[in-house]
Structure 1
Amino acid sequence: MLDVYRLRLLRELARHGTIAAAAYACSLTPSAVSQQLAVLEREAGTPLYFRDGRRLVLTEAARVLVEHTETVLAELERARANVAALTSTVRGVLRLAAFPSAARALAAEAIARCRAAHPDLRVRLSELETTDSVEALRGGRIDIALVHEYSLLPAVREPAVETEKLVTEPLLIALPPGLTGGEGPLELASLADQPWIAASKDDALHVMLARACAAAGFEPRLDFTSSDYTVIFALVSAGLGVSIVPRLALESMAAEIELREVADLELTRTVSAAVRTGSRRAPQIATMLAALREVAGELSL
């Protein structure tokens, strides 16, 4: 009989390509993963991978197992959620992850509303960027992740994860007051000679900025990066450069800066709630999703 736990390890090996990376994703030691995969090979009665340089390549049999594993795990999530939904009590622990601007604009108020309505529900919040939170969601370490994607980048879909769009926000140009003169939307090309400031932890925003500037005919000169939007706004206010920032990040703005829409491109960031496929009917998850949906609907963007 094939063991679901070992099938999950095989799925992570397929995703990451090495025993060490799969072990890290599952919070296990490489030797433990190797031992479990060896047992799975005996259960399956066929080799599941072979070495090609530093990476492991899955056999055809392993790829078939991984494909079915996604279905099996989704159905198990759905079964657990449906059983849990039979009770009318919302209680226990819900693990939520969010990137900073979504934690501030969405998660805090949603958690407060859940606590008021369901005092037996305990919500734990972790601050994670999208890539890390999706990995944690897949690995079962969190239950809901607030994630984002940008308009110029192709959407990446995970079979093990389903998303619900909460809000689409504009990206705005942040620049020192009076730098360009005039009002209204601004063409990116007019800022080609300016130094640029970028968010250091958001790789997707880096790529989107590069693509937007390339579409405008130039390559941005990145002089500064920071993981803190208050620092980015302070750098802009000090006249050290310009930046592109999501609308939700403005909640942390204290410095004097000028904000302009982008004239020649429609640049947006979509914020979504992600859960493991099949799990959304679980009472804790359904309750938090409803609260996030409600808070998102009240935002003025």
Structure 2
Amino acid sequence: MANAEPDIKPAVVKKPFSLNEDAKNFVLQNEKLFKTLKKAANRYIGGETLAETILSIKKLNEKDYTVTTDFMGESIRNERDANDVTEEFIRFAKSIATEGMNSSISLDLSHIGLLVSTELTIKNLKLICEATAKSKQEVIISMEGTDRTDQIIAIYKESLKENSNLGITLQAYLYRTKDDLKDLINLSGSIRLVKGAYEASKDLSIPRGDELDEIYLQYAEQLFENNHHCAIASHDDKIYREITKLIDRYKPTNYFLERLLDIQNEELEIYKNKGYKCRIYVVYGKECYLYLCNRWAEYPLNVFRALADIVE
């Protein structure tokens, strides 16, 4: 299915419309519109509820996939909502242990308090890490816009002192990542390497293309050389072909090839069957509007797939 798609470069940014909070709230409050868009989003999400998502994760585990799971949402602006989200992550962490699932947690710090206070974020992150540690799973901090990068890295480094099961995401398209990687690779926490998913000015970021691909591979090679716990998150099969050559050369034991649920998972299955360690990123919750917009931004022809899903 993925191989039949034309060679269209995916966007490197999250479209501003998908981040519009008024639009998100309108969708969530309009039952008919929400149900319509959810039909299109269903292929990309583990479920709307925790119970539905547990079933999805179990099916992936049965196929020998490791999973990382995110409760959808970001940019919470009050303490009560941030605490409610934290409780949901803790409920999920308890489910991992109870159900014997293999799933780490991924999250945006702005979903648990980053826009409220640093203290609240560190407190909530610690609670989630403690709950997840009981099932020997990790918590992976996702990266957000460039205006938040310094704060996210600072909170990660501070929290890692008390929570050894913590990891972070780095975006290869930022010029600063060269120095960030040099710093963070010396710490014990895992590193998820992505190309980049947020709009950034030209003075801060490298445009998508051959130069960025080469830099991405250089960063991955540094991680493999050090056998640093990492995830190579990409939907670019050209990248994965080069990545597997590096894996064969350095023979790291602490890595995953990672892709989003139902995004070129057929190719990921091939790599898994060849013996490479593979992980699928699963999201769940009601904010499927945001997630669906991001899938459209990454690959515009997904709009047609969404229309087909809606009318089925």
Q: Specify the TM-score bucket, using the shorter chain as the normaliser.
A: under 0.3
Instruction: Give the helix-richer structure, 1 or 2.
Output: 2
Relative contact order, higher structure (CA 8 A, sep 6+): 2
Greater CA radius of gyration, 1 or 2?
1
Normalising by the residue count of structure 2, what TM-score does the alignment of the two structures yield?
Answer: 0.26
Normalising by the residue count of structure 1, what TM-score does the alignment of the two structures yield?
Answer: 0.27
Instruction: Give the strand-richer structure, 1 or 2.
Output: 1
